[in-house]
Amino acid sequence: MSDKKIALVTGAGRGIGREIAKTLARDGFFVIVNYAHSSAAADEAVNEIKAEGGDAVSMGFDVADFAAVEKVAADIIKEYGHLDVLVNNAGITRDTLLMAMKEEDFDAVINTNLKGTFNTMRHFSKYMIKNKGGRIINISSISGVAGNAGQANYSASKAGVIGLTKAAAKELGSRNITVNAVAPGYVDTEMTQVLSEKVRESILATVPMKRGGTVADIANAVAFLASDKASYITGQVIQVNGGMG
C-alpha cells in the first residue's frame, strides 16, 4: 500500500517516457517506470527520480502481451492498493513506404502502440472503477492526426489510439475516470535519431514555431492532464507540436 498517488508510465526508461516519469514524480506521484528491454535505462530513471527526492520503482513487461499485462495489473494493485494515473507512452516505429511494408512491420507497430494501449486500459480500468476514479493519458502523434508518408503502420496505430481514447472516455466518464491523448509533433529522442538530417530539416521547416519539441514540452502536457486542474477534461487530444499540421 502507498499513501501517495500511484502513476504507471509505460516505456519510461528513456525518451519522452522518462521525462514524464520524472515530472510526475516531482508532482508527488509514486511512479512505476515500465520498460520492455532497457532495464539499465529504467534503473537510471528511477535513480534520477530518487536523487530529486521522489519515489519510483522499475518494472519490466511487454505492453503488447495481454496476459502479462493482466498479471502485472493484479500484482500492482496487490502491492500498492490502487493505480491513479496510467500513461501509455510505449511506442515503436518500423517506417517504410506502404508498397514495401512487410506484414510483420505492420503487426509489430499495431501490437505495441495500439494493442499495448488497449491491454493496459483493459486491465487497469476495472481497478480504477473500483477505486472510484483515475486518469488515463495516451501518447498519440501528429502522424495519427494528419497521417505521414512512410508511416502507414505508425499513423494507423496512433489514429487508433485516438479512437480508443474517445470511446473509453465515453464509457468511463460516469466512473470519474478521464481519458485523454497527447499528440506530440517532432521531438528529438532515439526514435527520431534514425531520421536523416535532410528529413529532420524538412520536418522542422513545417513547424511554425521553428523548433522541435522537447521531452519536457510533452511531459508538461501529460502532468497537466494528470493534475487536479484537468479534472473536467476528457475525450480530448492535446496537440503539442509548435503549430504543425
Q: How far is the CB of 175 from ligand NAP (least distance, A)?
A: 25
Q: 212: which DSSP letter?
A: P
Of 49, 77, 84, 112, the one binding ligand NAP by CB under 6 A: 112
Quote the least distance from Cβ 113 to ligand NAP, whole Å: 6
Identify residues 136-195 at the interface with ligand NAP (CB under 6 A).
139, 141, 184, 186-187, 189-192
Active-site residues, by number, are 154
Among residues 207, 208, 237, the alpha carbon closest in space to that of 222 is found at 237
Cβ–Cβ under 8 Å, residues 20 and 222: yes
Query: What is the CB neighbour count within 10 angstroms for residue 232?
Result: 6
23 vs 141 by CB, closer to ligand NAP: 141
Minimum Å gap between C-beta 221 and ligand NAP is: 12
- Among 35, 118, 145, 225, the residue binding ligand NAP under the rule CB under 6 A is 35
Cell matching residue 63: 505492453
Work out whether 217 is an interface residue with ligand NAP (CB under 6 A): no
CB 9 within 8 A of CB 24: yes
| Residue 242 in the binding site for ligand NAP (CB under 6 A) | no
Instruction: Output the smallest distance, CB 117 to ligand NAP, in A.
Output: 9
The torsion angle over the Cα atoms of residues 245, 147, 113 and 162, rounded to 10 degrees, is: 60
Partners of 179 in the β-ladder: 136
Nearer to ligand NAP, 54 or 212 (CB): 212
- Identified binder of ligand NAP from the candidate list 8, 10, 21, 162, rule CB under 6 A: 10
Nearer to ligand NAP by Cβ, of 118 and 186: the residue is 186
**Contacting ligand NAP (CB under 6 A), which of 7, 8, 9, 15?**
15
Asked if 90 touches ligand NAP (CB under 6 A), the answer is: yes
Instruction: For the CB of residue 119, give the shortest distance to ligand NAP in the complex, in Å.
Output: 10
Taking CB under 6 A as the criterion, the residue among 24, 25, 31, 63 binding ligand NAP is 63
Per DSSP, the three-state class of 116 is helix
Q: Is 59 in the site for ligand NAP (CB under 6 A)?
A: no
Instruction: Evaluate whether 113 touches 92 at the Cβ level (below 8 Å).
Output: yes
222 vs 17: CA distance, rounded Å: 10
CB 21, CB 137: distance < 8 Å: no
Specify whether the CB–CB gap between 192 and 239 falls below 8 A.
Answer: no
Judge whether 97 and 149 are in contact, CB under 8 Å. Answer: yes
Contact residues for ligand NAP, defined by CB under 6 A = 10-11, 13-17, 34-38, 62-64, 89-92, 112, 116, 139, 141, 184, 186-187, 189-192
